[in-house]
Amino acid sequence: MLRLSGMVARVHTGSLLGIDAYGVQVEVDFCTGLPGIDIVGLPETAVRESQVRVRSAIINSRFELQSRRYVVNLAPADRRKSGASFDLAIAVALLCQCGLCAPNRLDETLFVGELSLEGQLRPVRGLLAHLRAARRRGLRAAVVPDADARAAGLATGLRVYRARDLAEVVDFLNGTRALPLVTPAACERPSDRDAEEDLKDVRGQESAKRALEVAAAGGHNLLLVGPPGTGKTMLARRLKGIMPPPTAEEALEIATIAGAAGLPVPAGRHGVGRPFRAPHHTVSDAGLIGGGVPIRPGEVTLAHLGVLFLDELPEFRRSAIEALRPTMESGLSALVRAQDRVIMPSRPLVLAAMNPCPCGYHGDRKRICRCSPDQIQRYQGRVSGPLLDRFDIHVALPPVRVSELKGASRGETTAMVAERVLKARARRERREAAERPGFGERRTSQSDRLRTCVKEEALGFLHRCIDRLGLSLRAHDKVLKVARSIADLEGAQWIETPHLAEAIQYRLLDRDPASEGVHGLPLPRQRSRQARTAG
């Protein structure tokens, strides 16, 4: 195959930034000078080193480049390129420029893959992000490494071919071989680990179990406070099991984020479960929120649509947990650097746990606290008031007595609670679909919509409680949201006074868990059991 005079070979590929990919076009042409390959377009070290891998892969695939000087341009040239995903596109462009590869499919096909020195295709990080970006750019096909076929099976909207080595790709472009298409991945079930961590294994702590159910039903952030050994971590690890499985769109988002972070991507939509991330309290700001060079997602993004568990909350760096404040409000992590601005989705259910004091026994009726008032104040002061205000539900966990364990029967299983949560979320989705404004209608805020669902006497009760307890306006809105979730769990159309009373109790960290609650109303779990018995 002869090269046409003045022809520049162009191949489509992409570069990863955060959890998204943007289009990159590889352009190859001859230039005067000694034989070699020059790569321009702000390539970083891994990209510059690709010329060595590509040359060796071409030779070991039994192709021979012309003894010329090649210039490889990565457009757009004003954005830094990183990673090894350009290898396949650069090799195809070089072979096309030498007349060894037909250019008839290059205009509509994405090429992504790392090359070994023998010409084998290796998997790349963030393949789903590349495929989604290619679909947005209007490309119709993609060639990916065979090892990435599992993740590629989640992509839709374009034909994805899988190849094992460079020779197969060249034969495919020349029309002498057909590459196998990636089919939708077979469904895999999530790991059995969740089945082992069943909610029925938690004895006592009925109020905390109820709070987990409410948090899962409405996606509310939850804070557990109690002495050591009261089951905070045990409860936290069972929250993921009662959350409903992700939808098709959510599964694609979760898999895309996992692939961009270099984590394994399960096969099939039903194999993608909600993530559970529990970073150590020594995590850095960039590790929690995201950052680095190149920018990578942090723990809050890796937990998107799942659970982010922050155990021993006061032990985290103040700057790290304070950076969570805007993320918990907006559901986005915005990272601004000198050259890039990256916005990543970060909408997990944030579940935090903490002790009341450094020794853990402040307020315990059985054990003596060894901490001074100043130590307690400094310890609790590590978590700021604005951050605490962003937790929708606060639960105080009392110690469980051994006498209670002897006669305590196993409680509800994870499957039983998950079924109620799934029904509550279905009610919320139907209600939100009915409240969605039509074309030209004015969009109302969520707080205004919630107020229309509250009975008049219940709204008066809420205002009296807010004034008496000195809660903020943010707490007012959060109480309404939690009460709406409680009403959905009960199957109620209106938010009533008992729903608001339970929601308000979740804002009181200093109340006695054995007390009668707010204004003499029974405790949340007791009321719910009575309601279910009556029903």
DSSP conformation letters of 381-402:
HTS-HHHHHT-SEEEE-PPPPH
H or E stretch at 431: helix 414-435
**Residue holding tokens 């993609």?**
142
Q: Are 187 and 269 in contact (CB under 8 A)?
A: yes
DSSP character at residue 201: G
The pLDDT score that the predictor gives to residue 265 is 81
The pLDDT score that the predictor gives to residue 192 is 44
DSSP conformation letters of 265-278:
--SSGGG-PPPEE-
H or E stretch at 27: strand 20-31
The pLDDT score that the predictor gives to residue 438 is 58
Does the pLDDT at position 189 exceed 70?
Answer: no
Q: What does the alpha-carbon distance between residue 189 and residue 175 come to, in Å, rounded to a whole number? A: 39
β-sheet bridge partners, residue 121 = 115
Q: Are 51 and 92 in contact (CB under 8 A)?
A: no
The pLDDT score that the predictor gives to residue 525 is 40
- Distance from chain centroid for Cα 53: 34
Q: Reduced to 3 states, what is the DSSP secondary structure of residue 161?
A: strand
pLDDT tier, 405 (very low <50, low <70, confident <90, very high otherwise): low
Q: Are 181 and 210 in contact (CB under 8 A)?
A: no
- When the pLDDT of each residue in the chain is averaged and rounded to a whole number, the result is 86
Q: Reduced to 3 states, what is the DSSP secondary structure of residue 336?
A: strand
Does the pLDDT at position 473 exceed 90?
Answer: no
146 token code pair: 């065979």
Q: What does the alpha-carbon distance between residue 324 and residue 37 come to, in Å, rounded to a whole number? A: 46
CB atoms within 10 A of CB 500: 26
Does the pLDDT at position 309 exceed 50?
Answer: yes
Does the pLDDT at position 94 exceed 70?
Answer: yes
482 token code pair: 């939690």
pLDDT tier, 339 (very low <50, low <70, confident <90, very high otherwise): confident
Quick one: 340 exposed, middle or buried, by C-beta within 10 A (0-12, 13-18, 19+)? middle
Q: What angle do CA 448, 453, 455 make, to 5 degrees?
A: 115
The pLDDT score that the predictor gives to residue 61 is 95
Same topology, domains 9-174 and 193-414? Answer is: no
DSSP character at residue 430: H
Confidence (pTM): 0.86
Buried b (16+ CB within 10 A) or exposed e, 191-222: eeebeebbbeebbbbbbbbbbbbbbbbbbbbb
Reported as a single tens digit per residue, the pLDDT across 217-270 is 999 999 999 999 888 999 999 999 999 999 989 999 999 999 999 888 876 566
Does the pLDDT at position 496 exceed 50?
Answer: yes
Backbone phi, psi, residue 28, to 5° = -130, 135
Q: What does the alpha-carbon distance between residue 240 and residue 214 come to, in Å, rounded to a whole number? A: 13
The pLDDT score that the predictor gives to residue 4 is 42
The pLDDT score that the predictor gives to residue 403 is 66
193-414 placed in CATH 3.30.420.10 = no
Q: Are 188 and 251 in contact (CB under 8 A)?
A: no
List strand residue ranges (DSSP E) for 157-255, in order: 159-163, 222-225
Does the pLDDT at position 518 exceed 80?
Answer: no
Q: What does the alpha-carbon distance between residue 240 and residue 162 come to, in Å, rounded to a whole number? A: 34
H or E stretch at 497: helix 497-505
Q: Which of 184-188, 284-288, 388-392, 473-477 has the lowest mean pLDDT?
A: 184-188
CATH class of this structure's domain 444-535: mainly alpha
Q: Reduced to 3 states, what is the DSSP secondary structure of residue 298?
A: coil
Q: What does the alpha-carbon distance between residue 31 and residue 42 come to, in Å, rounded to a whole number? A: 19
Q: What does the alpha-carbon distance between residue 191 and residue 497 come to, in Å, rounded to a whole number? A: 41
Q: What does the alpha-carbon distance between residue 235 and residue 212 come to, in Å, rounded to a whole number? A: 8
Q: What does the alpha-carbon distance between residue 145 and residue 152 come to, in Å, rounded to a whole number? A: 10
Q: In CATH, what number does 9-174 get? A: 3.30.230.10
Domain ranges of the chain: 9-174, 193-414, 444-535
Q: Are 362 and 368 in contact (CB under 8 A)?
A: no
43 token code pair: 């390539």
Q: What does the alpha-carbon distance between residue 322 and residue 329 come to, in Å, rounded to a whole number? A: 12
The pLDDT score that the predictor gives to residue 56 is 96
- For residue 45, give the nearest of 80, 4, 5, 93 by alpha carbon: 80
Q: What does the alpha-carbon distance between residue 107 and residue 103 come to, in Å, rounded to a whole number? A: 8
pLDDT tier, 153 (very low <50, low <70, confident <90, very high otherwise): confident
DSSP conformation letters of 10-79:
EEEEEEEETTEEEEEEEEEEEESSSSEEEEESSB-HHHHTHHHHHHHHHHHTT----SSEEEEEEESTTS
